[in-house]
Structure 1
Amino acid sequence: MTGAEHLAVVAAGLGAGMLTSTVGVASLLSFPVLIALGIPPVVANASNTLGLLPAAMSGSFGYRRELREVRRPTTIAVIVTCAIGAVGGAALLLGLPPGVFAFIAPWLILFTCLIVGVQPWITRWVRSRHEEPQGERTTMTPTTTFFAALTGVYGGYFGAGAGVMMMAVLGLGLDLDLRIVNALKTLALLAANLVAGLIFIFVADLNLTVAGLLAAGSVVGGYVGSHIGRRLSATLLRVLIVLAGIIAAVLMLR
């Protein structure tokens, strides 16, 4: 790799790190850059997962104030659920043909974009169906846990748009401010990337140079992105998430 290509990977890591902590479509920036540099898709995918791990770490640190507002059992449930799901996703990446999951990924992203967009109306409708007022949902239900685990599987397999999916799952399943859901989403991506990255270190082909360059950029981007995400209004953040997810899905369908 040339010096210019090194800088391109670092820049991709910086931008992807910011996206990790905001709209959750980081891989749609960094993964195409690696492919353009001629890195084989599976190697690029595994290296990308490892390289973006620092972004989720620094982003979660940046969101520490929001994470303190979440009940500890809920935080633990999100971490464990996504970590277990990522084990299955990593196994799928290493065991299945590359095109299988990628075929349905764009449609999953579009579906979750729709959910994120209409989530306030869905929540109001669900609550209106109850005859008696219901308390706020601050713990993970079995349904929310199931779909969070599926998102963890996707995150371990490919991850492009996994943040959008997790925002939809947690936004529907928990009665929390969107900024807190965003913080939990970033923590969920950290759990998924950490587990998948550890697996890839031992059993996958990696380009450690690329992973290191991505990490150098993403650790800064993740922290900066957490401060940006905190300052965005709920409506603007929701719009940006939906737009980012639609763009991601369209790019994957091309």
Structure 2
Amino acid sequence: MISSALEAVAVLLAGVAAGTINAVVGSGTLVTFPVLLAAGLPPVTANVSNNLGLVPGSLSAVLGHRRELVGQGRRVLRYGIASLLGSVLGALLLLRLPAGAFDAVVPVLVGVGVLLVILGPPLQRRVARRKAERGGTGHENPWWLWPAVLGTGVYGGYFGAAQGVILLAMLGIGIADTVQRLNGVKNALALVANAVAAVVFLVVAEEIDWWAVLVIAVGSAIGAQLGSVVARRLPPVVFRAVIVAVGVVAIVVLLVT
């Protein structure tokens, strides 16, 4: 557990950074999780405590993007159910599977997400063109998006690093809308995944470092407000570049740790 003022300050700053990054794109766990491990927490305890601590940051990010969420209630509800169901399964897997069971899969998932972000605009145009040729207009609610969000929810409940990168990539391909509005949806889905997993952990988990939870909660809530302002002001091209950069860093960190 956190045992010194220096460790508390380090975790607080990591929480601020994670909240900012999560509000913009995701991957904040890659900041807080290593800091908790450095503070001496066992991996599963660190993961559980980190998830609980980031819930207020996720809520803060949603509130910071409430302008972008206007008119998207049905969309958030539809995919929020998928995120909810997936995160329950993911949280239970974390508590039941051997530590590191997903280690080989996570970098591949993040890599696919980064690739989809890069290919997103041309893929969007292709999907919209094919639907228009069949008599439709634009594209919304493709059949594959709901199970894809479900799968991302499983990952989010299990670990969740770079969950936002994967969600933004899938939403960007499946839904014709601005990247800022889709980022608002991503934050709402991430909040569902984090909050539901947190409830599962509260009921089932045996070890939680509540000092770590409190410090990360304060830091991530502050950081999320900063990140919401930054995300709103980024041009779409720059936004996508930031997503790709964060995703590449996430892959490198996951491979070397």
Shorter-chain TM range is over 0.9
Choose the corresponding residue for 1:2, options 4, 7, 12: 4
Q: Percent identity?
A: 38
1:24-43: CA deviations, max 9, x gaps?
A: 11101111111111110000
1:175 is matched with which residue?
176
> For residues 36-87 of structure 1, what are the alpha-carbon distances to aligned partners after superposition, in whole Å with 9 as ceiling and x for unaligned?
11110000001000000011101100100100032x2211012211111100
The TM-score normalised by the length of structure 1 is: 0.96
Residue 223 (str. 1) matches residue 238 (str. 2): no
Shift of 1:21: 0.5
C-alpha deviation, 1:15, in angstroms: 0.5
Counterpart of 1:122 in structure 2 is 123
Q: Where do 1:149-164 residues align within 5 Å?
A: 149-164=150-165
Counterpart in the other structure of 1:75:
76
Does the CA contact (< 8 Å) of 2:18 and 2:223 recur in 1?
A: yes
What is the SS of the residue equivalent to 2:222? Answer: helix
Between the aligned partners of 2:185 and 2:42, the Cα distance in structure 1 is: 32
- Matches of 2:189 and 2:108, distance apart in 1: 21
Instruction: Report SS of the residue matched to 1:65.
Output: coil
Matches within 5 A, 1:54-65: 54-65=56-67
Q: Unmatched 5+ residue regions in structure 2?
A: none
Q: 2:24 & 2:225 partners in 1: Cα distance?
A: 10
The amino acid across from 1:98 in the alignment is A
For 1:91, the equivalent position in structure 2 comes to 92
Task: Identify unmatched segments of 5+ residues in structure 1.
Answer: none
Deviation at 1:133, TM superposition (A): 5.8
- Aligned twin of 1:36: 38
Residues 96-142 of structure 1 show CA distances to partners (whole Å, capped at 9, x for unaligned) of 1122112210111011100011100111223334535632334x333
Tell me which of 191, 206, 209 is aligned to 1:207: 209
Distance 1:134 1:231 in 2: 32
> Match for 1:234 among 233, 236, 249?
236
Count residues in correspondence: 252
Q: Contact conserved, 2:127 with 2:139, CA < 8 A, in 1?
A: no
SS of the equivalent of 1:60 reads helix
What SS does the aligned partner of 1:98 have?
coil
Provide the C-alpha distance between the structure 2 equivalents of 1:15 and 1:177, rounded to a whole number of angstroms.
25
Bigger mean CA deviation after superposition, 126-135 or 191-200: 126-135
Match among 53, 56, 70 for residue 55 of structure 2: 53
Q: What CA RMSD, in Å, does the superposition of the two structures yield over aligned residues?
A: 1.2
Letter in 1 for 2:80: I
Note the alpha carbon deviations across 1:185-205, whole angstroms, 9 max, x for none. 011110000000011112112
Q: Is 1:145–2:137 an aligned residue pair?
A: no
Aligned-partner Cα distance in 1 for 2:130–2:65: 34
Corresponding position of 1:12 = 14
8 Å contact 2:128–2:138 — kept in the other structure?
no
Instruction: Give the structure-2-normalised TM-score.
Output: 0.95
- The aligned amino acid for 2:52 is L
CA shift, 1:224, in A, is: 1.4
